[in-house]
Amino acid sequence: MKARHKRLAFIAVGLIALGVATALVLDAFRSNLVFFYTPTQVANGEAPQGGRFRIGGLVEPGSLKRAANSLEVRFVVTDTAKRVEVVYSGVLPDLFKEGGGTVVQGRLAADGSFHADQVLAKHDENYMPPEAAEALKQARRVQTTVEVE
C-alpha cells in the first residue's frame, strides 16, 4: 500500500515535470531562437540592431550587381512584401541565382543595408525533373491568370 503510494507520487512528479517542460518548450518556440528573420521583420525593426543574425528570402530578380574590380556584390533579399539590400564580398554559391532562395548571415549597417559575411543558397524540398518543373510553372501561371481575371 505504502509502496504503491510512493510509486504513484513518483509518477505524478514525473508527469508534472514533463508538463512544465513542455509548457516551457512551447513558450520558447514562440520566440526567435536562431536569429533568423524575414525581410518584413527586418523592416519592422524586429531584428537585432547590434548583433549578427540571418535573413532568409528570395533574391529579387534583377537586383544583383557586381562591383567592377572587386569581389563585392550587392543584391536585394525579399519576401515579396519587404526588401533588404545586402552587401557581400566573396564568392557566391553555384546555386545562388536571382529568383532563388538564399540565407545571408551578417550585421545591419548604420545605413540600413545588411553587411553579410556569409551567403548561402537555400532551395526548397521539391525534387523533380526540369520538364516537370516547367509544367508546374505553366500550371501556376494559368492559375494566377485565372485568378486575376
Nearest CA among 67, 63, 83, 84 for reference residue 75:
63
Q: How many CB atoms lie within 10 A of CB 73?
A: 19
**Interface mask toward another protein for 43-82; x: CB under 8 A:** -----xxxxxx--x--------------------------
**What would the DSSP string read from start to end of 36-51?**
EE-HHHHHTT-S-SSS
Grid cell in block for residue 49: 540592431
CB 86 within 8 A of CB 76: yes
Residue 146 interacting with another protein (CB under 8 A): no
Q: Closest separation between CB of residue 57 and another protein, Å?
A: 11
State the Cα–Cα distance between residues 59 and 138, nearest whole angstrom: 21
Residue 110 interacting with another protein (CB under 8 A): no
Q: Closest separation between CB of residue 149 and another protein, Å?
A: 28
Q: Closest separation between CB of residue 95 and another protein, Å?
A: 5
Total residues contacting another protein (rule CB under 8 A)?
52
State the Cα–Cα distance between residues 15 and 80, nearest whole angstrom: 45
Handedness of CA 108, 114, 119, 124 (dihedral sign): positive
Selected binder of another protein within 8, 11, 14, 61 (CB under 8 A): 14
Residue 13 interacting with another protein (CB under 8 A): yes
Residue 117 interacting with another protein (CB under 8 A): yes
Site residues for another protein per CB under 8 A: 13-14, 17-18, 20-22, 24-25, 27-36, 48-53, 56, 91-96, 100, 103, 117-134
